[in-house]
Amino acid sequence: MKIAVAKGDGIGPEIMDAVLRIFGAANLPLEFVPVDMGKYIYDQGFSTGMTPEAKATIESLGILFKGPMETPKGKGVKSINVTARKVWNTYANKRVFRSLNGVETVFSKAGIPIDITIVRENIEDTYGGIEHMLTHDVALCRRFITRPGSLQVHRYAFEMARKKNARKITCGHKANIMKITDGLFLETFYEVAKDYPDLVANDVIVDDLAMKLVAKPGEFDVVVLPNLQGDIISDLCAGLVGGLGFAPSANIGDNISIFEAVHGTAPDIAGQQKANPTALLMSGIMMLRHIGLTESAAKIENAMLTTLEEGAHTADFGKPGTPALNTQQYADAIIANLGKKPSITTPSTGAADHITFTAPRPLSENPIKESPAQKGEIVGADFFVESNQQAVKVAEAFNRTISGAFELQLISNRGTQVWPTGSVFTECMNQYRVRVISKNDAPVSQQAMLQEVMNVAAELKICSVEMLMTYDGKKAFSLAQGQ
């Protein structure tokens, strides 16, 4: 089987070389095909950070094994890591955090074992990177949470939890504040949970989750979160087990999957053979299990665990006063332990190797995912307008311009209501959200609503407009703070 390999930037090439040497010593039935991705590709004028040939190779093989990559700063280009995950719809980011003998942490000193799997939604949320300046003082980022996307990642998380014999799965969220977006993520979590009665399903508000992960990590097994929250919480969990150097990552898609180290490129030590390849090796082991080489994955993991138990380490961890190995020496120590099993940690096991992965079939067009249709109707609009006047003056302007079929309901600033009631202590920026509703919530046509936009535009500067929708009669828009 062929695997696309991108070595990455900074320390990427040396840690990838170390891992591929270990894989070679384990006699894996794999061929590693190099592809051109990374900062040096940006520097050649490819704005995506990869060549067309690299993209074609990855799409034909279906698996990418990659080292850490740098996104050039200040050049207006998107992160190659995020771009790769989103372009190939690797919707579930799986990161496994567990205590490793030989990696000392606060928790290992206290005798508290860590074994937590984070599943982060990987496509949506604020990582769409859709941002605009509404005024010279006000920036907007659009946050997308979709029902099909949420169902997809939850289904993966529950299936994975069942396969690993997890006892519980937890949804982290902020639905107490973001009632529609995080509310949808939480709603779909419990919708999927009904199909897995063997698993305990619960939810925790994300800030409370962060505290509990540090105070009582043993309460958690599998945790699934939206993209941004999952990004933050997964790094928090890395801190529980010794840092990102021990945090493997898999980006799982239905067609293409990416296995990578998520730590930085460490340019300060690049080329010095000081880098720790453990996270990349553990990501590679996850890749082997994903494609069906479970026996080989267990063999390599047992060699790594044995090596850590023996006290071998690179300069970034290990017992003080013991000599550090360089990157390749550390790989050599693991190679020497192939076939051995750890004595303290429970050894890994796996069924006989049998490659189950099949390369993706070519697609002629983009797949469209949609849940069963609901009746959608427009009942008004939120106008985002630029004005340095008081809210009462903005209200007067709207009341002069909107037609008799509509009424002005509220004005908010930064999400807080300032009209028809509010507080003089609420500081306002030069951009208001103005809600206009059809009388008696009667459905209106898109053309009628756009005519109201034209009416308002005659007097006020409109930055953006969002239609207010109902679906099957249920309001699909949030209240303002203080409304």
Residue 254: partners with Cβ closer than 8 Å, 6 or more residues away: 89, 91
Classify 354 as helix, strand or coil. Answer: coil
- The Cα-based distances of 2 to 32, 87, 137, 259 in angstroms read 6, 21, 51, 14
Whole-number Å distance between alpha carbons of 385 and 464: 7
- The Cα-based distances of 438 to 58, 114, 180, 312, 450 in angstroms read 51, 55, 22, 70, 13
Which domains does the chain show, CATH number per domain?
1-90+255-372 (3.40.718.10), 115-240 (3.40.718.10), 376-475 (3.30.70.1570)
- Which residue is listed with tokens 């970034």? 316
Q: Which amino acid is at 331?
A: A
- Which residue is listed with tokens 């720790």? 276
Whole-number Å distance between alpha carbons of 62 and 225: 25
Residues 458 and 401: beta-carbon distance below 8 Å: yes
**Residue 24 confidence (pLDDT):** 97
- Crossing angle for the helix pair 206-215 and 227-240, to the nearest 10 degrees: 10
Within 10 A of 204 (CB to CB), how many other CB atoms are there? 19
Within 10 A of 31 (CB to CB), how many other CB atoms are there? 10
**55: which 2 tokens?**
């993209």
Q: DSSP secondary-structure letter at 391?
A: H
Whole-number Å distance between alpha carbons of 251 and 123: 10
**342: which 2 tokens?**
């750890």
**224: which 2 tokens?**
């699934």
Q: Taking the model in full, what pTM does it have?
A: 0.93
Element (H, E) at 274: none
What beta strand segments (E) does 297-415 contain?
376-386, 406-413
Query: Residue 437's beta-bridge partner residues?
Result: 380, 407
Classify 74 as helix, strand or coil. Answer: coil
Q: Residue 135: left (phi > 0), alpha (psi -120 to 50), or beta?
A: beta
The residue length of the chain stands at 483
Whole-number Å distance between alpha carbons of 419 and 417: 6
Burial class of residue 353, CB neighbours in 10 A (0-12, 13-18, 19+): middle
Element (H, E) at 183: helix 181-193
**237: which 2 tokens?**
């969990």
Mean pLDDT for back-to-back runs of 10 residues, the chain (483 residues): 96 98 98 95 88 96 96 72 90 96 93 96 92 95 96 98 95 96 98 98 98 96 98 96 95 96 93 96 98 98 98 93 95 98 94 94 86 93 97 97 96 96 95 96 96 96 97 91 78
- Crossing angle for the helix pair 12-25 and 294-309, to the nearest 10 degrees: 110
Residues 317 and 267: beta-carbon distance below 8 Å: no
What beta strand segments (E) does 174-315 contain?
200-205, 222-225, 248-252, 257-261
Whole-number Å distance between alpha carbons of 80 and 48: 6
Using the Cα atoms of residue 152, residue 157, residue 158 and residue 159 in order, give the sign of their dihedral. positive
